[in-house]
Amino acid sequence: MKRKVHGVLMVFATLFFLNGCTSLVITRVVGPTVDNLQRQKDVDLVCEGAPSFLLMIDSLLASKPDDRKLLITATQAYGAYIAALDVCGRQERAGVLSEKSREYGLGLLVQAGVCKGSKVPVDVMRRNLQSFGKADVPSLFWGAYGWAAWLQYQKGAPAALADFLRVEQIMLRVVEVDEGFYHGSAHLFLGMYYGARSAMLGGKPELSKYHFRRALGLSNRQLLAIQVAYAQSYARTVFDLDLYRSLLQEVLDFKLADRPDLYLANQVAKRQAHQLLQEMELDF
């Protein structure tokens, strides 16, 4: 089965090079393949089989670096793959590939006119974002998503902390314009961001709690990454062990077949929840 998936992806890549028709490949191959990636039930298969597909995306972007649809697809694909690598025990590789996620996320933001690079002053970005509306939300969200995927591997570096402020502004604008976009995931980011530190260290736990609750409501509690992040970023920070345990148990009890379109993301969340509960039992 693994060889079959690898072979199919290589056929897609070959077809691209033979035909040279980028827009046709994006419409008929790349988009549907990314959707199918989220429907995969075997996380380990994704970890082993996705690189060929990612190489194809890289090749397409080399010829059309400003293609909005392709940049969105690239950030989605790399983000999904990085998350899978993390639970496959390949965190170092995930960190390396997060550079690509950042590159394509920033490329999307530059293409949309949000900024001219990663060093735009935060106040300038905040003002610029006021001109963006609902039609711009996919570019805003996925651009910030790709950037944030890289930031999580920077281990508190000063430059990364400044970048988080910029991503925060983008996600706040998404919430203002279309808070339900992609299952309320802008709220998910903000919940994690405000809950990452205790109140004594500058965190905002009550604001974190608000955003997580909004994300849970907007997703109908079916994007399990929200429960896992709520447990890690809020419940653990405020030492609410009952909430921590109940959120993670909810993830384990969820039937993956209820949301086949989120199978991969939810499978990743289940692995994370299982590990976190095991660690909790060891600690207590």
Q: How many domains does the chain have?
A: 2
Lowest pLDDT segment from 28-32, 44-48, 83-87, 163-167? 28-32
**Are 39 and 60 within one domain?**
yes
**Are 21 and 162 within one domain?**
yes
Half-sphere exposure of 186 (CA within 13 A, CB side): 23
pTM to 2 decimal places:
0.85
Alpha-carbon gap, residue 41 to 256, rounded angstroms = 9
Within 8 A by CB and 6+ apart from 85, the residues are: 47, 91, 93, 94, 97
H/E stretch holding 258: none
Q: pLDDT per residue over 227-248, tens digit each? A: 999 999 999 999 999 999 999 9
Token pair belonging to 252: 């384990």
Q: In this structure, are residues 38 and 31 in contact, taking their beta carbons and an 8 Å threshold?
A: no
**Are 131 and 206 within one domain?**
no
Flag whether pLDDT at 284 surpasses 60: no
Where a domain ends, among 148, 172, 196?
Answer: 172
**Are 199 and 276 within one domain?**
yes
Enclosing domain of residue 198:
179-284
Q: pLDDT per residue over 17-69, tens digit each? A: 334 444 444 444 455 556 666 777 778 877 787 788 888 888 888 888 888 98
What is the rounded (10 degree) CA torsion for 178, 183, 185, 188?
A: 120
CATH code, 237: 1.25.40.920
* Residue range 262-266: mean pLDDT, rounded: 90
Q: In this structure, are residues 260 and 33 in contact, taking their beta carbons and an 8 Å threshold?
A: no
Which class for 100: exposed (0-12), middle (13-18), buried (19 or more C-beta within 10 A)? Answer: buried
Phi-psi label, residue 26: left if phi above 0, alpha if psi -120 to 50, beta otherwise: alpha
Taking the CB of residue 93, how many other CB atoms lie within 10 A of it? 15
**Are 102 and 190 within one domain?**
no
Average pLDDT, the chain: 84
At residue 227's C-alpha, the angle toward residues 222 and 233, to 5°, is 150
**Are 5 and 146 within one domain?**
yes
**Are 114 and 224 within one domain?**
no
Token pair belonging to 255: 């039937």
- Interhelix angle 51-63/91-112, rounded to 10 degrees, is 30
**Are 119 and 203 within one domain?**
no
Alpha-carbon gap, residue 25 to 42, rounded angstroms = 25
pLDDT for residue 280? 78
Residue 242's closest CA among 229, 231, 254, 227?
231
Where a domain ends, among 172, 197, 216?
Answer: 172
**Are 9 and 147 within one domain?**
yes
Alpha-carbon gap, residue 256 to 252, rounded angstroms = 10
DSSP 117: S
Half-sphere exposure of 22 (CA within 13 A, CB side): 15
Where a domain ends, among 172, 189, 213?
Answer: 172
Flag whether pLDDT at 251 surpasses 90: yes
**Are 125 and 228 within one domain?**
no
Taking the CA atoms of 193, 195, 199 and 205 in sequence, report the sign of the dihedral they define: positive
**Are 22 and 160 within one domain?**
yes
Alpha-carbon gap, residue 12 to 56, rounded angstroms = 8
**Are 18 and 157 within one domain?**
yes
Q: CA Rg, the chain, in Å?
A: 19
* Residue range 253-259: mean pLDDT, rounded: 95
Within 8 A by CB and 6+ apart from 18, the residues are: none
pLDDT for residue 234? 95
